[in-house]
Amino acid sequence: MTSRTVAVSEGRGLARSIAVGTHILTADEPRPISGDTGPTPGELLLAALGACTSMAVRASADRHDWPLDQVDVTVQFDAHGRITKEVRLTGELDPDHIKGLVSVAERCPVHRLLAEQTPIVTVPTVVTPRPAE
């Protein structure tokens, strides 16, 4: 997993500016709740899972020199509150290749993080504004 710090700053309404190193992303909620200037936090979470899965599958196929032409991942929350992840594999893959790639898809770092009960520690930092001079 990455060691870069992710910093989130408040924007207009519920919009948030997310800085990851030199990269800037935006998160928001759809109208009428907010301005819909970016994906929701949940959608960003799904995007992270899909991207991680795709990268892990591609790296494994390349490492084994398997004939994977394309890997596409679709991720969504289902009606039962679960995450459904479809991994579409294109290529002349035999059953052992498919089994191996599906296994890798289920072990990518973000998948493991979400599937396990990972502790999260919240550390409050309170800043008291200075009185106007």
For 104-130, write each residue's pLDDT tens digit: 999 999 999 999 988 888 898 999 988
Give CA–CA dist 127/102, Å, rounded.
Answer: 47
Give CA–CA dist 89/125, Å, rounded.
Answer: 46
CATH 3.30.300.20 fits 40-115, yes or no: yes
For 52-107, write each residue's pLDDT tens digit: 999 999 999 999 999 999 999 999 999 898 999 999 999 999 999 999 999 999 99
Give CA–CA dist 72/88, Å, rounded.
Answer: 5
Residue ranges per structural domain of the chain: 1-38, 40-115
Residue whose C-alpha is closest to residue 98's, from 56, 54, 61, 46: 61
